[in-house]
């Protein structure tokens, strides 16, 4: 993995956190184990091993449109960040943290890292988006702590495997806010009165 590992970016307590870019040849089975070995209650689809292997072989985890990184906590694969729509000026991301590591600050460290990575690596990026279910309060807190602003609320737009539909909440950060360390919420009162 030499050359593919990013330098350590933070510590959570005494835990050393770093990010390592996914390699389809070396990491596919680890990715299969990661995605199928845990329950991901706030993700819309169920992961199937053969579909993951096929997508990895087709380059969908690391190509011109996406990059995937392991979140390593003291060398353990504790999380996964997938950056998507990299050819756009508004990329999105998917973040997954293993159950054993949830609630320990790993999500906040990962969002801080990916935000910095995207704005530094892709100078044309003007904003970064992320979405979560309304009831994923932990991720919503991570967004706010990371300087992201709630920009959308889509009612019953997030189907779950059990058939229930949840609201989808969208957050984003602007490059100018990230650079200045400010947060500028949208104007939610911009509609003209009904006549």
pLDDT value, residue 57: 92
Q: Quick one: which of 4, 55, 59, 63 has its CA closest to 32?
A: 55
pLDDT value, residue 11: 60
Q: How many angstroms separate the CA atoms of 73 and 182, rounded? A: 29
Q: Is 167 in contact with 155 (CB distance < 8 Å)?
A: yes
pLDDT value, residue 3: 45
Q: Mean pLDDT by 10-residue block, N- to C-terminus, for the chain (195 residues)? A: 53 82 92 92 79 92 94 95 96 96 94 97 97 96 97 93 91 97 92 89
Alpha helix (H) residue ranges in the chain: 24-36, 49-57, 106-121, 137-145, 175-180
Q: How many angstroms separate the CA atoms of 23 and 20, rounded? A: 9
pLDDT value, residue 2: 42
pLDDT value, residue 62: 93
Largest CA distance in the chain: 65
pLDDT value, residue 6: 56
Say what the pTM is: 0.90
């Amino acid at each position: 993995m030499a050359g593919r590992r990013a330098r350590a970016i933070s510590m959570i307590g005494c835990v050393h956190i770093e990010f390592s870019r996914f390699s389809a040849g070396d990491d596919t089975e680890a990715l299969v184990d990661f995605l199928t070995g845990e329950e991901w209650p706030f993700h819309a689809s169920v992961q199937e091993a053969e579909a993951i292997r096929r997508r990895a072989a087709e380059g969908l985890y690391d190509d011109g449109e996406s990059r995937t990184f392991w979140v390593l906590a003291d060398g353990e694969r504790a999380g996964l960040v997938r950056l998507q729509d990299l050819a756009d000026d508004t990329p999105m991301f998917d973040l997954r943290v293993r159950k054993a590591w949830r609630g320990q600050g790993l999500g906040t460290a990962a969002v801080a890292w990916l935000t910095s990575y995207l704005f530094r690596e892709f100078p044309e990026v003007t904003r970064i988006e992320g979405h979560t279910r309304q009831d994923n309060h932990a991720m919503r807190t991570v967004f706010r702590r990371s300087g992201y602003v709630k920009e959308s609320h889509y009612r019953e737009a997030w189907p779950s495997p059990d058939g229930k539909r949840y609201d989808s909440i969208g957050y984003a950060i602007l490059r100018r806010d990230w650079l200045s360390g400010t947060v500028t919420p949208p104007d939610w009162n911009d509609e003209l009165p009904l006549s």
